[in-house]
Amino acid sequence: MFGSSGIRGIVGKEITPKIALKIGEACGQIYKKVVIGNDPRTSSVMIKNAVTTGLLSYGVDVTDAGMVSTPTLAYAARDYDAGIMITASHNPPEYNGVKIFNKDGSGISMKEARKIEAKMKEEGSHAKSYAKWDEIKQLKERDFVRQHMDAIIDDIGFAKGGEIALDCSNGATSNISPYLLREMNYRVIAMNSHPDGFFPAHLPEPVDENLQQLKDVCGIKRIFGIAHDCDGDRMVVASNKGGLIENEKLMVLFARYIDAKKIVVPVDASMIVDELLDAKVYRTRVGDIFISEKLKEIKGDFGAEPSGTWIFPSFSYCPDGVYAAAKFVKMMEEIDVGRETEKMPYYSMKRISFRASRNKIDVAMEKLREEMEKMEYENFVDVDGYRIEFENSWALVRKSGTEPKIRLTVEAKNKEEMEKILDKMEGLIKRCLK
C-alpha cells in the first residue's frame, strides 16, 4: 500500500475515508503524539478528519496544523512522535494521499510503513484496544507557519533584495512562500497564490507545460521565477529569459554553493551531476525517503531529485521547496545564475511514461529485465528498475512510486543518439506491456 511517497491514489477508489480511518487507527497504536496537516485539495479535510478520528480513538495526543505545506508539517514534526500530511503532492486534483514523517523531517522508512500496513490488516482487536472514554484527548489546533519561516530566516538570513516571480500552483505554499520571500526583502510577483483544490490555473506539477504563465512573466520582466507543486516539497526555477532551468543544473549550483562533499541523487539524475561536481555522488532509488536514508547513512551534505526536490540535511531531511526557494534567492546575490547555468553542457534528455494496470506493469517489468540484459552495454544498474548505461548515454525503466505507470528516462550527449535509444526503448516497453 505504501509507495515511495506514502499512500496515494484516486479519491473514492484507492483513497477513501474508510482507508483513512484504518491508517489513523494503525498509527494510533504506534505513535502517541502526532501533528497532522493537509494541502488544499477538495478531499483533504475529509481524509484528514478520518485519519484524526482513528488517532483519537487510540488516545493519541493530536495537533491539527491546518492547511500547510508539507515541509512546514515535516518541520513541525520535530516536537512530536510523527507528522502526518494529507496530500497527493504534484498529482492531479482527483488524487490524494497520506505521508508520514519522522522527527527529523524524513519520511518514514519502508520498514516502518510495513508495520503500519500490518496493523491496518489486523481485525477483531479494536474493541479491546480502543481508548476508554476518559482517555480520549482533546484535538488541539496550532499554526506552524511562523515557526517554519523564522527557522528558515535564522538559517539563511535576509537578502539584499530584488524582484522575483512566484507561482504557488494554487497550493499550500500560498500561505508561506510569498510572505517569506517578502520578509527576506524581495519584491514578489505572486501568481496563483490562493489555495484552490480545483487548480484553476494549471495542474499542480511544476513542469514546463504547466508553467507558461510564469515563464512569460519572467521573459517579459527579465527576472527569475520560482514555482512550487501543490504541497511545496518541490521547487523549480524559471530563468530571466523565459525558460525553465534544468533541475540537474540547479543541483550543481546548490551543491557548489554549500560546498557539498557528499551528495545523494536518484538513478534518474543526469550525467552532468557526476561530471561537473568535485564531490562524491551516491545514487539511490527514486523517492525522497531513500535520498534521506542515504544522506543519514553517509552523513551527506545535500540531496536532490530531478523532479525538483531539494534536501539540505543541516536544516531538515524533508524535501523543503520553501527553504530551497529562500536559498535560491540568497544564492542569486553571490552567483550569476544565468551565466553559470549557460556555461554547463547541454545533454539531450527525455522522460515519458506508460500507463497500465499494476498487474500488467509487474509482468512487463520482468520481461523488460530479460530483454535489456540481452543488450550490449557498459553497466547495468538495478537499484530502482533497470538502468542500462552506454559510453555517452543511458536509459532507465522503472515503476512509478506514485501512479500506475512505467517511467522511461533516456539521456545522451547528443540528440540523435538520445532519440535512437528512446525509440528502441519505447518500442520495447510497448511490446512488453501487450
Please give the positions annotated as active site.
89
- Size of the chain, expressed as the number of residues it contains: 434
Q: How many helices (H) and strands (E) would you count in the chain?
A: 15, 19
- Sheet with 280-284: strands ordered across: 280-284, 262-266, 302-305, 309-311
Angstrom distance (rounded) from CA 41 to CA 71: 17
- Residue pair 174/189 in contact (Cβ under 8 Å)? The answer is no
* Residue 202, all three cell numbers: 494549471
Give whole-number Cα distances, 355 to 145, 338, 352, in Å: 37, 36, 10
3-state secondary structure of 184: coil
Angstrom distance (rounded) from CA 117 to CA 250: 37
Q: Where are the alpha helices (DSSP H) in 29-95?
A: 44-56, 70-76
Angle at 405 between CA 95 and CA 360, to 5 degrees: 120
Angstrom distance (rounded) from CA 359 to CA 19: 21
Query: In sequence order, what E strands does 107-180 have?
Result: 140-141, 162-167
Give whole-number Cα distances, 173 to 38, 71, 89, 102, in Å: 11, 9, 12, 21
Q: In this structure, what are the phi and psi dihedrals at residue 319, rounded to the nearest 5 degrees? A: -65, 110
Backbone angle region of 69, left / alpha / beta, with phi > 0 → left and psi within -120 to 50 → alpha: beta
